[in-house]
Homo-oligomer: A and B are copies of this chain.
Amino acid sequence: MHKIEVNVGVSVTEANRRQAEENREHLDEHGIRSIDILGAVGSGKTMLIEKLTPVLKARGYKVGAIVGDCYGDDDYKRIHALDIPTQNLNTGTECHLDAHMVHHALHKLPLDDIDVLLVENVGNMVCPTDFPVGSHKRVVIVSVTEGDDVVNKHPAMFRECEIGIINKVDLAEAVGASVERMERDMRRHNSNIRIIKANLKKGVGIEELADMLIT
């Protein structure tokens, strides 16, 4: 986030925290479990929703989604094609979703028809960390193609998340990345983090993730 010292009575992050608490209450009233999906551009956030949704449906859950991007509807179209209630959020020059944007999206979704709400944040490993939106769990996904130093470079992101997914492990050798280093760095930043080694394209890791999210 961009640090700036100003006296506006309440800080931007504090105002966001309060709105996030309201969102959480709103979700709880409707019995919805909400999951944040965080990670860089191209890490696999949208594919995670594409692969996770049918698995959750098969377990009897009704799924909904909020899809954040700076611009365009590339991700939205992919998620909407899953035939679930979906809201697109374009952030323009903003580099993250915030609780207020999600508040508005919640009011447009049929909340009584959703058990699990998947919230895909803007592709960014830094800024979304400081802006919780009210979800019950936060999942971060990194891909080996980002380089095996990507975890070490972003400690705050991994401290914030309960689950860390290492995606595209099948490409590790081709790009010269050490999955072991990525795991080790995750545990160093957050000793409680639960780690999944995934190849989302082939569905590897999805059942394991569904277990972690629902239990």
For A126, give the chain B residue with the smallest CB separation.
B95
Alpha-carbon distance between A70 and B127 when the two chains are bound, in angstroms: 11
Q: Mark A104-138, 1 if CB is under 8 A from B, else 0.
A: 00000000000000000011111101100000000
B126, A70: Cβ atoms closer than 8 Å: yes
Q: For residues 55 through 105 of chain A, which have their beta carbon under 8 Å from a beta carbon of chain B?
A: 69-72, 74-75, 93-96
B126, A93: Cβ atoms closer than 8 Å: yes
Chain B residues near A126 (CB-CB < 8 A):
70, 93-95, 122, 124, 127
Determine how many copies of this chain the complex contains.
2
B94, A3: Cβ atoms closer than 8 Å: yes
Q: Which one of B125, B127, B149, B174 lies within 8 Å of A74 (CB-CB)?
A: B149
Residue A204 is within 8 A (CB to CB) of chain B in the complex: no
Chain B residues near A4 (CB-CB < 8 A):
4, 6, 8, 12
Alpha-carbon distance between A41 and B144 when the two chains are bound, in angstroms: 11
Residue A143 is within 8 A (CB to CB) of chain B in the complex: yes
* Secondary structure type dominating chain A contacts: loop
Alpha-carbon distance between A155 and B91 when the two chains are bound, in angstroms: 12
For A91, give the chain B residue with the smallest CB separation.
B126
Given contacts A2-B12, A126-B127, 17 further A-B contacts (CB under 8 A): A1-B95, A2-B96, A2-B127, A3-B94, A4-B4, A41-B41, A41-B146, A42-B145, A69-B153, A70-B126, A71-B153, A74-B149, A93-B156, A95-B126, A124-B124, A124-B125, A124-B127
Top 6 nearest A-B pairs by Cβ distance?
A42-B146, A95-B126, A145-B145, A74-B149, A42-B147, A40-B41
Q: Which A residues are within 8 Å of any B CB, using their own CB?
A: 1-4, 6, 8, 12, 40-42, 69-72, 74-75, 93-96, 122-127, 129-130, 143, 145-147, 149-150, 152-156, 168, 171, 174-175
